[in-house]
Chain A
Amino acid sequence: MKKIELLSPAGDMERLKVTLLYGADAVYIGGYKYSLRANATNFKLPEIEEACKFAHKLGKKVYITVNIVFHNDETQDVYEYIDEIVRAGVDAIIVSDPFVIDYIVTNYKNVEVHVSTQNSTSNYETVNFFKEQGVKRVVPARELSKKEIKELVDRTGLDIEVFIHGAMCTFYSGRCTLSNYLTNRDSNRGGCSQVCRFAFDFENEEIKFTMATKDLNMANYIKDLIEIGVRSLKVEGRMRSLYYLATVISSYRKIIDAYYNNTLTEKTVNDENIILSRVANRETSTHYFDHYADNEDQYFTGRQEISNQDYLGLIISYDEQTKTISLIERNYFEVGDFVEILTPSGKVYKTQITSIIGEDGQITEVARHPGENLKIPFETIIEPYSMLRKFY
């Protein structure tokens, strides 16, 4: 059985490297044009080349989004852009507008076309239509059940990629222009202003009307997704933090590997769910996968989004002579705190802060300036891009 792919978002080069190091098999990025996250950092051409080289050296892949719904003006130089990103070495292009599919399939046999969830593909007839057009993979609508996804796999033979973690849209992708009408920002060209998270007055009711959804968390169903033949598991969040991505990718990597090693237990999933809940800033749900989504899957007024201060620092190096870790502080911590070090290999070290050395070389009791370079003593060699976090 071909091992399922773990696909991570990457909003910039650092996040790309970190997610690949933490266990993603492939990353998806936005280029400098035509991406549905127009306001993310996104990658310029030399960065796309660098990203591809970095990933390919690790035997991993880079997919790039060209998934806006095009207006006439944007179609003028899209072919030139595709030529450039193909030359830069991308493995697949994620598209929503079919005229783009036609161009890639006709001109590039070695680059896969993946149909974006933006198309809300929801049945096997449509998947087979895309298959006939030369598409290699479809990311279906996020409103599908396990049974419906399995039918897509069984009745098409095409690669099916499924979202497993992150924020969800309230409305069908491609079928929401609230942002256009309320804020003049085009949601289908990357300008979504998340109007679905606004609160509205509702006739004579006192309680505000909201329609936002809880986030998605499919940790409990990875086994099911593997066994129904899904090809790729996708994490949402090109604009999420380094720590969030490292944690989420690391957790899903452990669950997937445990499945293939025949060591997956309820405890494995529960342990990882505890870790995942620590980086979550909203409640989560499985939405349509195992039930018809209802009020329990929404986020009503009164439930507050949580600000997360779990992440204490990004480890940048280890000095074997002095046996100290160098890190960039992200949140307050102090001598005596119990902490964990999450490493790209998935190994987690638990320890207590015994000393903190500030940028000026002076010993301090507290780390209270996020962004500051600090050193802490630690006996074991730690890889760069490891993360210091709270231990509860």
Chain B
Amino acid sequence: MKLLAIPKNTKQINDKVDGIIIGLKGLSVNYQNSLSLEEIKKLKTTKEIFVVINKIIFNSDLQQLETSLVELSKSNIKGIMFYDLSILSINNRLNLKLNLVWNQTHMVTNYNTCNYYYKKGVKGAYLANELTLEEMIQIKEQTLLETYVNIISKPAMAHSRRTLITNYFKNMNKEKKKDMYEIAEKISGHKYLINEEKDGTTIIYNNIVNGIKPLFELKKINFDYVIIDETYLDDELSEKGIDLIRNIIENKINEESAISYAQEKFGEDTGFFYKKTIYKVK
């Protein structure tokens, strides 16, 4: 099992991670640490580097996308985590032989589709945060794709092409003063982050989802990659999270102590790991 981080910056990569996930400028959304092609090529690290391309791709993006994929295929990155199927299509059409990880955020939800993409040449699947642990285990057991999952993160909940913050202020004849705000739902009292960038607006869950307990189960089945998303964590928490996951991978901490420590540091919200969603209410 390997540990990846989505770092806030790439200047000082934590030595305890096996690799990092970064965005590509102009083709990634909700990745604070997005680099240009040149910056990616110049990265000096022995760690595995995964590049996320998760923007919704429009016709006008295709040329830039194709050029970027060709360039990345010549670099020493480990893989590309892709949302739009145009990336798979270009990779196959140009025989780029990129190591592709299917990363359609909320739609990576079953092993049949994993196996479909495996047949199309995809190598990995970055599982949806909305799956239960049981579903993740089933997928790992039923697919040949390498599997990736967030263990500590504040996950993205929704993404729009609309400039929702700008529009809100415009409606009040005001201008937005920053790109990220906090919104709150009155009944539950839950708070969420809303982040607007050039390519749209993302709403982010403002609780830390703590997957340390499920991590022990995933480790038993040789799950391939686990991820800590540092984007919305403070530096101290990020470091503690990386230390903890590394210690778990290397059997340096027992389950009970690790879970107790994680609850103290990251809270007790386990997201959907142990909670099934419903869809028929009648």
Residues of chain B lying within 8 A (CB to CB) of residue A102? 116
Asked whether B110 lies within 8 Å of A201 as measured between CB atoms, the reply is no
B105 at the interface (CB under 8 A from A): yes
Asked whether A201 lies within 8 Å of B162 as measured between CB atoms, the reply is no
Mask for A192-222, Cβ within 8 A of B = 1, else 0? Answer: 0000101111110101011101000000000
Nearest-neighbour CB distance to chain A for B31, whole angstroms, equals: 15
User: 8 Å CB contacts to A: which residues of B147-161?
Assistant: 157-161
Please report whether the interface of chain B is mostly helix, strand, loop or mixed according to DSSP: mixed
Mask for B39-62, Cβ within 8 A of A = 1, else 0? Answer: 000000000000000001111111
Contacts A171-B158, A180-B277 known; 20 new A-B pairs at CB < 8 A: A38-B280, A72-B138, A99-B112, A123-B58, A123-B84, A126-B57, A129-B88, A130-B85, A144-B58, A170-B162, A176-B159, A177-B157, A180-B106, A186-B277, A188-B107, A191-B280, A200-B192, A202-B183, A209-B168, A293-B161
Residues of chain B lying within 8 A (CB to CB) of residue A171? 158-160
Complex alpha-carbon distance, A120 and B164, angstroms: 19
Q: How large is the interface on B (under 10, 10 to 19, 20 to 34, 35 or more residues)?
A: 35 or more
Contact A200/B57 with A185-B279, A185-B281, A189-B279 known, Cβ cut-off 8 Å: no
Asked whether A174 lies within 8 Å of B162 as measured between CB atoms, the reply is no
Show 29 residue pairs from A and B whose CB-CB distance is below 8 angstroms, ordered by the A residue: A38-B280, A69-B106, A70-B110, A72-B109, A72-B110, A75-B112, A97-B107, A98-B113, A98-B116, A120-B56, A121-B85, A122-B58, A125-B62, A126-B84, A126-B85, A126-B86, A172-B161, A174-B107, A175-B56, A176-B106, A177-B157, A182-B188, A185-B277, A186-B278, A202-B183, A207-B172, A211-B160, A211-B162, A298-B167
User: 8 Å CB contacts to B: which residues of A268-317?
Assistant: 288, 293-295, 297-298, 300
Contact A293/B280 with A72-B139, A122-B58, A129-B85 known, Cβ cut-off 8 Å: no
Asked whether A148 lies within 8 Å of B275 as measured between CB atoms, the reply is no
Residues of chain B lying within 8 A (CB to CB) of residue A177? 106, 130, 157-158
Closest 9 CB pairs of A and B: A191-B279, A125-B86, A295-B167, A186-B277, A189-B279, A176-B158, A129-B89, A200-B183, A99-B116
Complex alpha-carbon distance, A171 and B142, angstroms: 32
